[in-house]
Amino acid sequence: MELNIYIELLKNKNLKVTQHRLEILRFLDKNRTHPSLEQVYSYIKEKFPSISKMTVYNVIDSLIENKIINSMRFVNSTELHVDFEIDTHFHFVCSKCGHIYDIDSELDLEKILKNGGHKADDYNVNIYGVCKKCLKK
Protein backbone atom coordinates (compact mmCIF):
# COMPACT_ATOMS: atom_id res chain seq x y z
CA MET A 1 0.00 0.00 0.00
CA GLU A 2 1.42 3.30 -1.11
CA LEU A 3 0.58 5.09 2.11
CA ASN A 4 3.50 3.20 3.58
CA ILE A 5 5.86 5.67 1.96
CA TYR A 6 4.35 8.52 3.94
CA ILE A 7 4.17 6.46 7.12
CA GLU A 8 7.86 5.76 6.76
CA LEU A 9 8.67 9.42 6.18
CA LEU A 10 6.89 10.35 9.39
CA LYS A 11 8.25 7.48 11.49
CA ASN A 12 11.80 8.22 10.41
CA LYS A 13 11.43 11.64 11.96
CA ASN A 14 9.61 10.40 15.07
CA LEU A 15 6.45 12.15 14.08
CA LYS A 16 3.15 10.61 15.00
CA VAL A 17 1.28 9.11 12.09
CA THR A 18 -2.07 10.85 11.84
CA GLN A 19 -4.71 10.81 9.13
CA HIS A 20 -4.23 14.51 8.58
CA ARG A 21 -0.53 14.25 8.09
CA LEU A 22 -0.87 11.31 5.74
CA GLU A 23 -3.50 12.99 3.63
CA ILE A 24 -1.58 16.27 3.41
CA LEU A 25 1.57 14.40 2.42
CA ARG A 26 -0.30 12.41 -0.18
CA PHE A 27 -1.86 15.55 -1.59
CA LEU A 28 1.50 17.31 -1.83
CA ASP A 29 3.12 14.28 -3.40
CA LYS A 30 0.43 13.88 -6.06
CA ASN A 31 -0.02 17.60 -6.72
CA ARG A 32 3.32 19.20 -7.21
CA THR A 33 1.90 22.62 -7.91
CA HIS A 34 3.54 24.44 -4.99
CA PRO A 35 0.22 25.17 -3.29
CA SER A 36 -0.25 27.86 -0.70
CA LEU A 37 -1.49 26.82 2.74
CA GLU A 38 -4.92 28.10 1.78
CA GLN A 39 -4.92 25.71 -1.17
CA VAL A 40 -3.82 22.80 0.97
CA TYR A 41 -6.55 23.68 3.43
CA SER A 42 -9.31 23.84 0.85
CA TYR A 43 -8.32 20.48 -0.57
CA ILE A 44 -7.98 18.76 2.75
CA LYS A 45 -11.29 20.16 3.91
CA GLU A 46 -13.03 18.03 1.30
CA LYS A 47 -11.63 14.87 2.83
CA PHE A 48 -11.88 15.99 6.45
CA PRO A 49 -14.60 18.64 6.56
CA SER A 50 -14.08 19.30 10.24
CA ILE A 51 -10.34 19.89 10.02
CA SER A 52 -9.10 23.13 11.51
CA LYS A 53 -6.93 25.50 9.54
CA MET A 54 -4.61 25.46 12.50
CA THR A 55 -4.01 21.78 11.91
CA VAL A 56 -2.87 22.58 8.40
CA TYR A 57 -0.46 25.17 9.78
CA ASN A 58 0.78 22.72 12.40
CA VAL A 59 1.18 19.81 10.01
CA ILE A 60 2.97 21.94 7.43
CA ASP A 61 5.23 23.43 10.10
CA SER A 62 6.35 20.07 11.35
CA LEU A 63 6.88 18.71 7.84
CA ILE A 64 9.04 21.72 6.99
CA GLU A 65 10.94 21.54 10.25
CA ASN A 66 11.70 17.89 9.64
CA LYS A 67 12.72 18.59 6.05
CA ILE A 68 10.07 16.31 4.63
CA ILE A 69 8.79 19.14 2.46
CA ASN A 70 10.12 22.41 1.13
CA SER A 71 8.72 25.91 1.56
CA MET A 72 9.07 29.10 -0.41
CA ARG A 73 7.69 32.60 -0.81
CA PHE A 74 7.41 34.75 -3.89
CA VAL A 75 7.62 38.53 -4.11
CA ASN A 76 4.14 38.95 -5.50
CA SER A 77 2.28 37.33 -2.62
CA THR A 78 2.35 37.19 1.12
CA GLU A 79 1.61 33.54 1.63
CA LEU A 80 3.86 30.58 2.16
CA HIS A 81 3.91 27.93 -0.55
CA VAL A 82 4.96 24.34 -0.07
CA ASP A 83 6.36 21.62 -2.22
CA PHE A 84 6.82 17.90 -1.70
CA GLU A 85 10.01 17.75 -3.72
CA ILE A 86 12.68 18.40 -1.15
CA ASP A 87 15.44 18.68 -3.74
CA THR A 88 13.91 21.20 -6.12
CA HIS A 89 14.99 24.70 -5.31
CA PHE A 90 14.58 26.56 -8.58
CA HIS A 91 11.19 27.98 -9.47
CA PHE A 92 9.96 30.02 -12.38
CA VAL A 93 6.96 32.20 -11.55
CA CYS A 94 4.85 33.49 -14.43
CA SER A 95 3.61 37.02 -13.87
CA LYS A 96 0.70 36.50 -16.29
CA CYS A 97 -0.85 33.21 -15.22
CA GLY A 98 0.78 32.81 -11.82
CA HIS A 99 1.86 29.28 -12.57
CA ILE A 100 4.98 28.08 -10.74
CA TYR A 101 7.28 25.82 -12.71
CA ASP A 102 10.02 23.63 -11.28
CA ILE A 103 13.32 24.25 -12.98
CA ASP A 104 15.85 21.51 -12.99
CA SER A 105 19.10 23.11 -11.94
CA GLU A 106 21.25 23.55 -8.90
CA LEU A 107 23.54 26.03 -7.21
CA ASP A 108 27.13 25.36 -6.36
CA LEU A 109 26.91 26.85 -2.87
CA GLU A 110 30.58 26.23 -2.10
CA LYS A 111 31.62 28.26 -5.09
CA ILE A 112 29.08 31.02 -4.45
CA LEU A 113 29.89 31.46 -0.77
CA LYS A 114 33.62 30.75 -1.25
CA ASN A 115 35.62 32.46 1.48
CA GLY A 116 32.63 34.19 3.01
CA GLY A 117 32.61 31.91 6.03
CA HIS A 118 28.83 31.41 6.17
CA LYS A 119 27.41 27.92 6.54
CA ALA A 120 24.47 27.24 4.24
CA ASP A 121 21.62 24.85 5.01
CA ASP A 122 19.26 25.47 2.17
CA TYR A 123 18.43 27.84 -0.65
CA ASN A 124 15.64 29.00 -2.95
CA VAL A 125 15.96 30.42 -6.43
CA ASN A 126 12.96 32.26 -7.80
CA ILE A 127 12.95 33.40 -11.39
CA TYR A 128 10.22 35.82 -12.46
CA GLY A 129 8.97 36.42 -15.96
CA VAL A 130 6.44 35.27 -18.57
CA CYS A 131 6.07 31.57 -19.20
CA LYS A 132 6.13 29.65 -22.46
CA LYS A 133 2.35 29.26 -22.60
CA CYS A 134 1.59 32.90 -21.92
CA LEU A 135 4.15 34.05 -24.48
CA LYS A 136 2.24 32.15 -27.16
CA LYS A 137 -1.04 33.94 -26.47
Instruction: Compute how many residues bind DNA; rule: CB under 7 A.
Output: 28
**Which 73-132 residues touch a second copy, going by CB under 8 A?**
73-75, 78, 80, 90, 92, 94-95, 101, 103, 105, 107, 109, 112-113, 116-132
DSSP secondary structure letter of residue 48? S
Distance CA 26, CA 45 (A): 14
Name the residue nearer to DNA (CB basis): 38 or 106.
38
Q: Which of residues 84-103 bind DNA (CB under 7 A)?
A: none
Asked whether the CA dihedral 46, 49, 51, 52 is positive or negative, the reply is positive
- Segment interacting with DNA (CB under 7 A) among 25-33, 77-85, 91-99, 100-108: 77-85
Position 48 contacts a second copy (CB under 8 A)? no
- What is residue 73's DSSP assignment? -
Helix axes 37-47, 19-30, angle to 10 degrees: 120
How far is 82 from 8, CA to CA, in rounded Å? 20
H or E element at residue 100? strand 100-103
Interface positions with a second copy (CB under 8 A)? 71-75, 78, 80, 90, 92, 94-95, 101, 103, 105, 107, 109, 112-113, 116-132, 135
Interface positions with DNA (CB under 7 A)? 10-11, 15-21, 36-38, 48, 50-55, 57-59, 61-62, 77-80
